[in-house]
Amino acid sequence: MATEEAQAAARRLEDVSERLRRIVEQLDIRPDDRVLEIGCGQGVAATFVCERLESGHLLAIDRSAKMIEAARRRNAAHIEAGKAEFQVGAVEDVDLGDRRFDKIFAVRVGLFHREPERARGIAERWLAPEGAIFSFFDPPSRRAA
């Protein structure tokens, strides 16, 4: 039973990774991009972004401290290399000072789905000239656990 559960969990992680890998491909990350991810969850997409960065940098935020903790664990090497930062905060009230980003993205974050205009208005404040905002709300995988 434990083995079956472990196998099902491994398959789910595989699905999530594949889904997010495809999404990150669409961002066309450049080596020097400054990237902001909103609602990073466990930091799976963040890993794919960091793998494409050289001099660039990723800041990922999530309102859940538990998710940020998991994302930091997963991306410890990228944090250590100075390539990534993970910060607890809700997009509606996080203070990012005068930081600006070339790409801002969110995957399956409710606010971007429910109130896209509001979410865009909030994120636009952090956009660099020529920057772009991406929001994805793909359906869950249908693969049986």
Cβ closest to ligand SAM, residue 32 vs residue 138: 138
Q: Least distance from C-beta 20 to ligand SAM, angstroms? A: 6
Cβ closest to ligand SAM, residue 8 vs residue 32: 8
Q: Least distance from C-beta 70 to ligand SAM, angstroms? A: 9
Cβ closest to ligand SAM, residue 62 vs residue 102: 62
Sheet-wide strand order for 101-107: 84-88, 57-62, 34-38, 101-107, 127-136
Cβ closest to ligand SAM, residue 33 vs residue 86: 86
Q: Least distance from C-beta 1 to ligand SAM, angstroms? A: 27
Question: Distance between CA 139 and CA 121 in Å, rounded?
Answer: 24
Question: Distance between CA 1 and CA 60 in Å, rounded?
Answer: 36
C-alpha distances out from residue 17 to 46, 55, 131, 138, Å = 11, 24, 26, 13
Q: Least distance from C-beta 88 to ligand SAM, angstroms? A: 9
Nearest residue to 53 via CA among 33, 37, 39, 38: 33
> In the complex, which residues of this chain contact ligand SAM (CB under 6 A)?
16, 38-41, 61-64, 67, 90-92, 107-111
Reported as type and span, the H/E element at residue 79 is helix 76-80
